[in-house]
Amino acid sequence: MSTNATAGTTAEPAGNPAPKPSGDGRGPGLGQLIINGLRSNMRQYGMLFALGLIVVLFEIWTGGDLLLPRNVSNLVLQNSYILILAIGMMIVIIGGHIDLSVGSITAFTGALAAVLMVSHHWSWPVASIVVLLIGALAGVWQGFFIAYLGIPSFIVTLAGMLLFRGLTEIFLKGQTLGPFPDGLQKIANGFLPEVGPKTNYHNLTLLLGLALIAIVVWQEIRDRARQREYSLDVLPAGMFALKLIALIAAVLVFTMLLASYKGVPVVLLILAVLVMGYGFVMRNAVVGRHVYAMGGNLPAAKLSGVADKKVTFAVFLNMGILAALAGLVFAARFNAASPKAGVNFELEAIAASFIGGASMSGGVGTVLGAIIGGTVLGVLNNGMNLVGVGTDWQQVIKGLVLLAAVGFDVWNKRRAGR
């Protein structure tokens, strides 16, 4: 059985009676199927609904400014590095761990990139590869202490947060260093080039949008077929068609907004590759299933033959690489490396993961959920800035949103256990 099907379906306790058939004796009725489908995906649907509600609210509150094509593009660019971190953090949390060092590693790798490119004039592709390798080494360092020495991840990454923040200050000598080469800047701030005849829209973006719609439809149909294969409840054909229409409409609106400005940002393509790649690994690869198994029940996972130390080591190695990538994107975005870069990034990534469906106990969550959670935070930040909400109240509101998301997870588990 695939991991996402396993994680998303709550088994009935042994003592519960079997579901009663509908009045005609042919099994659950239409209403029951819809309810079962909503229950099994409550967190995912709930966050999507909340995201839509927040977008509508701020679209009205800002007088239409939130969904201006230019602002939508800026929203992608401004939150790209948090979304990259959220993908890695979601995997760490699914595995039953936490990482408090990602903000400091982001700052450290950005500082290292600045020293190599600006002070020593390395070419940006070579320097970027070196920076990613250094991020991997940072992950190896922490993963070794956590996986093989058994030190709790909270303690190791707390130490890493202080260590890498100090190294950032040492490398930059307390000063801001820049600017970065144009090639690296285009990764964080650039857009895909225009191709084809001159129109009112970005042609390449329209083609990519159509391709994404085809992928989404294929994925949904395939997931539905898998659910049927494992005798899981699926949405009725009519509801499934409505779900497809809603997804197609959302992708189409997003595509048209981007195509109305400068097209797809380069960093959005990087995010798309990460989401598809990590989504596939977590759903279908053995290592992904082992991460879920470790977070869900570590003793049982060990008895089942899961190499928990190797998997934990790999999870933190991966987090180090993604933190380094986020460091490159962040530094290029602002065209400078700063000793204060990455402050509170770990909190943003953790919040995005929990808002997107991760569980405090581990073993639950999806890569797409991390993107949804990060987008919720990004829209909140952007919308509150547009309407002039102060940073103090912004922190209050984001804290309440995080508390509500985790509270909903606890309530949902207690309800499922009854």
The predicted pLDDT at position 240 comes to 86
CB 108 within 8 A of CB 327: yes
**pLDDT of 23 strictly over 60:** no
Q: For residue 135, give the nearest of 396, 316, 385, 2 by alpha carbon.
A: 316
The predicted pLDDT at position 112 comes to 96
As beta bridge partners, residue 191 has 265
Mean pLDDT of the 127-132 span: 97
pLDDT category of residue 39 using cuts at 50, 70 and 90: low
* C-alpha dist (Å) from residue 295 to 279, 310, 323: 17, 14, 22
CB 357 within 8 A of CB 44: yes
pLDDT category of residue 17 using cuts at 50, 70 and 90: very low
CATH topology of domain 37-190+266-417: ABC transporter involved in vitamin B12 uptake, BtuC (1.10.3470)
Torsion of CA 68, 72, 74, 76, to 10 degrees: 180
Look at 10-24, 98-112, 215-229, 247-261 and tell me which has the smallest mean pLDDT.
10-24
Q: For residue 89, give the nearest of 337, 355, 339, 293 by alpha carbon.
A: 355
Task: Show me where the domains of the chain are located.
Answer: 37-190+266-417, 195-264
Give the 3-state secondary structure of residue 337. Answer: strand
Which carries the bigger pLDDT value, residue 83 or residue 18? 83
**pLDDT of 418 strictly over 70:** no
* C-alpha dist (Å) from residue 120 to 115, 180, 184: 6, 12, 16
CB 166 within 8 A of CB 327: no
pLDDT, tens only, 214-272: 999 998 899 889 888 888 777 788 888 988 998 899 999 999 999 999 999 999 999 99
* Whether the bond into 193 is cis, omega within 30 of 0: no
Mean pLDDT of the 275-303 span: 93
DSSP letters, 310-336, are: HHHHHHHHHHHHHHHHHHHHHHHHHTS
Between CA 146 and CA 152, with CA 150 as vertex, the angle to 5 degrees is 60
Look at 82-86, 147-151, 216-220, 307-311 and tell me which has the smallest mean pLDDT.
216-220
Mean pLDDT of the chain: 87
pLDDT category of residue 5 using cuts at 50, 70 and 90: very low
The predicted pLDDT at position 414 comes to 72
Mean pLDDT of the 409-415 span: 70
Q: Hey, CA dihedral for 94, 8, 213, 284, is it positive or negative? A: positive
**pLDDT of 119 strictly over 70:** yes
CB 160 within 8 A of CB 98: no
The predicted pLDDT at position 16 comes to 41
CA distance 44 to 409: 11
* Residue 255 CB neighbour total at 10 angstroms: 22
Left if phi > 0, otherwise alpha if psi is -120 to 50, otherwise beta: which for 96? left
**pLDDT of 11 strictly over 90:** no
The predicted pLDDT at position 15 comes to 39
CA distance 146 to 381: 34
pLDDT category of residue 41 using cuts at 50, 70 and 90: low
Give all strands (DSSP E) within 158-289, no chain letters.
Answer: none
The predicted pLDDT at position 417 comes to 59
Look at 227-236, 273-282, 287-296 and tell me which has the smallest mean pLDDT.
227-236
**pLDDT of 8 strictly over 50:** no
The predicted pLDDT at position 413 comes to 66
Buried b (16+ CB within 10 A) or exposed e, 6-37: ebbbeeeeeeeeeeeeeeeeeeeeeeebbebb
Buried b (16+ CB within 10 A) or exposed e, 143-157: bbbbbeeeeebeebb
CA distance 156 to 298: 20
pLDDT, tens only, 324-377: 999 999 999 999 999 999 999 999 999 999 998 888 888 999 999 999 999 999
Tell me which residue has tokens 């547009």: 386
CA distance 230 to 123: 52
The predicted pLDDT at position 235 comes to 76
The predicted pLDDT at position 416 comes to 62
